[in-house]
Amino acid sequence: MIEFKLPSLGAEMDEGTLLEWKIRPGDHVKKGDVVAVVDTSKSAIDVEIWEQGTVWELLIGVKETVPVGTVIARLLEPGETPEHAAEEKQQRAAAMTPVASAGAPAPAALAGVIEARAATESRQRTSPAARKRAAELGVDLARVTGTGPQGVINRDDIERAAASNAPAKNRWTEMRHAIAAAMARSKREIPHYYLATDIPLVVLSRWLAGRNEGRSVAERMLIAVPLLKAVARALARYPEFNGHFRDGAFVPGSSVNLGVAISLRQGGLIAPAIRDVDTVGLDELMRRLVDLVARARALTLRSSEMTDATITVTNLGDQGVELVQGVIYPPQVALVGFGKITERPWVEDGRIMVAPVVTASLSADHRVSDGHRGALFLAEIARLAQDPGKLDEPAVGR
């Protein structure tokens, strides 16, 4: 009997998801045949077999995820009968049962016992101090070599591993920690209130289509740009949403730096700022947005961009949601969300029509502003978004 185990298809791989079996019971396979397609979180990979035999049992189904080393199929060796294989399978299963049966174990069972014991004894020992330090530094114990008695991993081993690790290795853990800390602080300290309003984008869509006409795909302006601009302009009239809450008091921002929430492909979220959105033109804003997203995803942001934001704008429309009720990023005091732009029935001047509509929402800090002003602020965003011709003009008031 041949046990076909899920092979490791790279150092990073510890499990795989079966996408497709290329074999069925009864098929004859030979060395080098592709037997399955497995997704390894990086890509789908054709898995080959290195033995010759007849497929007997397939042990996992499509979409099933199993650790590397799991037996996923059994094959009959050339000339082997299914009865013989069944017997061998039973023996192996018995060998893995920890309770020893009376009498001398069969040779195969004995081998199994020894194997099982070896597995227990080879369990990596890690000192309590090392475990604690590894958790603090986000070091994966599986990648650390122990130098203590009997190969115990001690704290020095962790320090060494952390020092030699490329920082990128733990970036996602660290990012998760950072998000967790900021969001927990936000919900702990900031009394949020939430408002939302629907904005018809008939005029804006038409205006944008006209503006993008004749431009190449790369040059086309995204609808997010005039929406960002509308937020920035509205902030000029409602400055209590633009700034930071520090040491028990609100400090208004000296400029409008919009933090743009960008989700990263590897998971996690980053909200770097575009500076002075109230004073730049729409084309320049588009250019800066594209640049920012690209650099955010490449993780080559400047540190100032990470700290300058005076308010955050998040757009979850691409994910299909209509309403965002965001968590404010401290020490900011407000977050504006845009949902998906959908065609909805819209009543205007007593007529019903189909219009592209977006739901704009506001999460704001009740220590700094009240719902009344929040409503006016959202209404101002709605008004500006429907008057795109004026968005390119310089800001007025303050």
Partner 1 sequence: MKMTYREAMRQALHDALADDPRVFLMGEDVGKYGGSYAVSKGFFEEFGPDRIRDTPLSELGFVGAGIGAALGGMRPIVEIMTVNFSLLALDQIVNTAALYRHMSGGQFSVPVVIRMATGAGRQLAAQHSHSLENWYAHVPGLTVLAPATIDDARGMLGPALQDPDPVVIFEHALLYNFEGELSEAWRNVDIRSAKVLRPGREVTLLAYGGTVWKALVAADLLAAEGIDAEVVDLRVLRPLDDATIMASVRRTRRAVVVDEGWRTGSLAGEIMARIMEQAFYDLDAPVARVCSEEVPIPYAKHLEDAALPQPAKIVASAKALLAKG
Residue 16 and residue 45: Cα distance in Å, rounded?
Answer: 10
Q: Considering beta carbons, is residue 27 or 156 the nearer one to partner 1?
A: 156
CB of 146 to partner 1, least distance (A): 9
Q: Considering beta carbons, is residue 157 or 276 the nearer one to partner 1?
A: 157
Tally Cβ neighbours within 10 Å of residue 266: 10
Distances in Å between the Cα of 310 and the Cα atoms of 139, 295, 305, 324, 395 are: 34, 20, 11, 19, 17
Radius of gyration of the chain (CA): 30
Q: Considering beta carbons, is residue 92 or 131 the nearer one to partner 1?
A: 131
Residue 340 and residue 224: Cα distance in Å, rounded?
Answer: 11
Q: Which residues of this chain interact with partner 1, rule CB under 8 A?
A: 127-132, 147-150, 152, 154-156
Cβ proximity of 368 and 346 under 8 Å: no
Q: Considering beta carbons, is residue 148 or 268 the nearer one to partner 1?
A: 148
Q: Considering beta carbons, is residue 132 or 215 the nearer one to partner 1?
A: 132
CB of 149 to partner 1, least distance (A): 4
CB of 123 to partner 1, least distance (A): 16
CB neighbour burial string for 81-103, b if at least 16 within 10 angstroms, e if fewer: eeeebeebeebbebbeeeeeeee
Q: Considering beta carbons, is residue 54 or 154 the nearer one to partner 1?
A: 154
Residue 336 and residue 323: Cα distance in Å, rounded?
Answer: 11
Q: What DSSP character marks residue 319?
A: G
Q: Considering beta carbons, is residue 74 or 133 the nearer one to partner 1?
A: 133
CB of 128 to partner 1, least distance (A): 5
Residue 284 and residue 364: Cα distance in Å, rounded?
Answer: 28
Residue 95 and residue 115: Cα distance in Å, rounded?
Answer: 9
Q: Considering beta carbons, is residue 151 or 371 the nearer one to partner 1?
A: 151
CB of 154 to partner 1, least distance (A): 4
CB of 163 to partner 1, least distance (A): 17
25-32, long-range: CB < 8 A, 24+ apart? 25/55, 25/56, 25/57, 25/58, 26/54, 26/55, 27/54, 27/55, 28/53, 28/54, 28/55, 29/53, 29/54, 29/55, 29/75
